Structure 1
């Protein structure tokens, strides 16, 4: 299955998602914002999440697949004044995503051209069967 990938996610966040609780995560990394801006939320939309950095992501890396419930992009403007003569204006874009755990998965292939292009991966969803 091919899906968008969010990288550099905290292992604690991934552990919390594995517990089954939906979570809202704020993303500030440019490559993750570019990736999430190209994905529409929906009941069948999957996102791969891993703690591995985008530059190190390769086949065999483990992570989780999550359902993308909702997304929100926002721009924050910060203005700093110094002694009334000088001011600096900055803008910071962030994305908030609400996700719910789907399955553990492993990267089969990575599709990442540059920081201005979305990161996508081909993943293998792990299956776990229990005798009843």
Structure 2
């Protein structure tokens, strides 16, 4: 089963999700936002604490149900003095997810820059009842 992969997620976030409650997470890393552009609510998403560069077959992670997804751009304007100001933009994605089970990556696709990361997962024979 192929699904979107989010990498570099904090181990403490993954541990909290394993408690079974739905949580909202804000992601600001470009590779995760790019991966989420091809995801939609109701799909399963693979999350791992392994960094994007090191992510490979056999890495552990969790499956989560994507309950809500919002990608937005924030504009920040900073004034230093009346003659100088700096304008910055920051893209972020907010997702609401719920733990569905633990699994391993069987195959990884799209680790090139600008492409969504997809993962083929090992199907579990035992699922979490929720």
Q: Where on the TM-score scale, by shorter chain, does this alignment land: which range? A: over 0.9
Q: For structure 2, which runs of at least 5 residues remain unmatched after alignment?
A: none
Aligned twin of 1:12: 12
- The CA distance in 1 between the partners of 2:89 and 2:72, in whole Å, is 10
TM-score, normalised relative to structure 1 = 0.91
* 79, 82, 107: which one aligns with 1:81: 79
**CA RMSD for the aligned pairs?**
1.3
Runs of 4+ in 1 over 6 A off after TM superposition: none
Aligned twin of 1:51: 49
- The CA distance in 2 between the partners of 1:126 and 1:16, in whole Å, is 21
Contact 2:103/2:123 (CA < 8 Å) preserved in 1?
A: yes
TM-score, normalised relative to structure 2 = 0.93
Aligned twin of 1:40: 40
Deviation at 1:122, TM superposition (A): 0.5
Contact 2:66/2:98 (CA < 8 Å) preserved in 1?
A: yes
How many equivalent residue pairs?
Answer: 127
Aligned twin of 1:2: 2
